[in-house]
Chains A and B, each alone.
Chain A
Amino acid sequence: MEVLQLLIGGIATGCIYGLVALGFVLIYKATEGVNFAQGDMMMFGAFLALGFVNSGHMGLPFLPGVLLAAIVMGGVGYGIDRVVVRQLFGQPQFSLVILTIALGFVLRFVAGTIWGYTPVVLETPYSGRSLSLGGVIIGYEDIITILVTGVLTLLLWAFFAKTRLGLAAQAASQNQMAAYIVGVPVQRLNSIIWGLSGAVATIAGVLYASKGAIDPNIGLLGIKAFAAAVIGGFGSLPGALLGGILIGVVEPLAARYLPSGISQMSPYVIMLVVLVTRPNGLFSQIQAKKV
């Protein structure tokens, strides 16, 4: 019973890691660059939602408020790529790393200035309520996190597999030069992907915020999500999600049954083990380009 309890909580937490990891992978696949501000985009999205929804602020109804936050954050992501990242085109990878780390600081600072540094709670219609199923008590927020992650994953899959734009995004990540010459506006597509990952980060942030208070530093969770993305192979969307869930499940189990301290280390230990044993990640595509 206890294990089951821990497992469900772990999966829910893991879904949040996985969604942030998804953001890493989306941008990496499109641009071959890593956005180290992904965790901070999650944080900022959560605060935007809080600003739209909480009674002390704008007080919009929950769902429209969250959707509005996702749309605004999508615009912010699009704008960051359009205005800042695109200027780095042709520069060494390292400049993007520095840029996105700096971007994380900026987002933290802006959030702290607007909403303050003391932890605040997002008002949701479901937090704190729970369901008892044969002795296992599951919080509504965990159920909703898992459901929303499932639906979002399906939507993303449908976008990439079924839409014209999604197919173009796949094509551009597989062969950028060929994408250019068949007429894909690759740069605009990259901006759209940045926007998409901003919107996904916002949903992750709202799910995170429904489990507890938030402050401008929760973006540090991005480091664990980064580990999740590496575990998943850093090029695979399902891999990122599963990597996140793996970390989410191991953490509470390690905290309960193993000596203290191991739990905090576990994401990185798993990442190292995966890197050593399966350097391409657990779920990587096989590289098979013919020359």
Chain B
Amino acid sequence: MSVLEVRNVEAFYGAIMALRGVTLDVEEGEIVTILGANGAGKTTLMKTVSGLMDPEKGQITFDGKRIDHTDPDRIVRMGLAHVPEGREVFPYLTVEENLRMGAYARKGRDFSDDIELCYGYFPILKERRNQPAGTLSGGQQQMLAIGRGLMARPRLMLLDEPSLGLSPLLTQEIFGIIKRLNAEQGVTMLLVEQNAHVALATAHKGFVLEMGRIVMAGSSEMLRNSPDIQEFYLGRKEESQRGQKRWKRRKTWR
């Protein structure tokens, strides 16, 4: 049984249809990535899974239990943490208070072990533990957002563009940590990423989302070798063997 099953999910913003029947599975222990251009609906999909939005149609199950039309605080209690797009920290709370808030959904009071675990992965946060989160640099805020997600001790973590605005070096570092969290803590990851290179190098399998639909799915290996992915996501120049003009090429899935 898959940890997460999304079936024919449709979601709207008013009259705008952002998801047009999305179906995907995430298996226990996997890192799964979702690729897609700006406005494809990746963030919408993440919000719909974590309960910030309700789908108009379709079903979502987590651990075999239906979670569509469930409030986000109930969903995080079931073990699904969402690290949203764009460094959504609590700006006037300190780094450590932010981390503590990450464990809000859990029983118990003493989370110092978990906080130490976060500091182990992100040592810079320990140095800044008493600083208001709004005064951290963008990259540090992103680390804090991931650390806060970790504090929920989730079985499945949704990561929405963790590399947004980070330097290539820091992007490598963050993805290294994502890999380690997956291997060492056994956290299953559903990962949205614009940088297809690093995403496909990290993930086990991937989905391609376009205009609210899944248009391609497969192992990272297979996606990396697909000519469409190479051209449109990895930015590799096509060898024009048959003198084909670039503008004539069509994505084969349309």
Contacts and interface: CB of A to CB of B under 8 A. Distances in A.
Interface of A: 164, 167-168, 170-171, 174-175, 177-186, 285, 288-290
B52 A181 contact: yes
A164 B93 CA distance: 13
Contacts of B90: 170-171, 174-175, 178-179
A240 to B, nearest CB: 17
B208 interface: no
A290 B71 contact: no
B130 interface: no
B116 interface: no
Contacts of B101: 167-168, 171, 179, 182, 184
A171 B94 CA distance: 11
Interface of B: 50-52, 71-73, 76-77, 81-82, 84, 87-93, 97, 100-102, 104-105, 109, 134-138, 141, 148, 152
By CB atoms of chain A within 10 A, which of B77, B89, B109, B135 has the most? B89
A186 B136 CA distance: 25
A177 B91 CA distance: 13
Contacts of A185: 71, 73
B229 to A, nearest CB: 30
Contact of A182 (B91, B92, B102, B136): B102
Given A180-B73, A289-B91, 12 more contacts: A174-B92, A178-B84, A178-B88, A180-B52, A181-B72, A181-B76, A182-B101, A182-B102, A182-B105, A182-B152, A184-B73, A184-B104
A183 to B, nearest CB: 3
A288 B91 CA distance: 8
A164 B52 CA distance: 23
Contacts of A183: 72-73, 76-77, 104-105, 152
B141 A290 contact: yes
Interface residue SS majority, chain A = helix
6 contacts: A171-B90, A179-B101, A180-B73, A182-B101, A183-B152, A290-B141
Nearest to B132: A288
A164 B108 CA distance: 11
B105 A288 contact: no
A290 B87 contact: yes
Contacts of A179: 90, 101
A181 B50 contact: yes
A110 B71 CA distance: 36
A182 B104 contact: yes
A167 B93 contact: yes
A181 B134 contact: no
B76 A182 contact: yes
B134 A288 contact: yes
B72 A180 contact: yes
Contacts of B52: 177, 180-181
Nearest to A185: B73
Nearest to A168: B104
B12 to A, nearest CB: 14
Given A180-B52, A183-B105, A285 B92 contact: yes
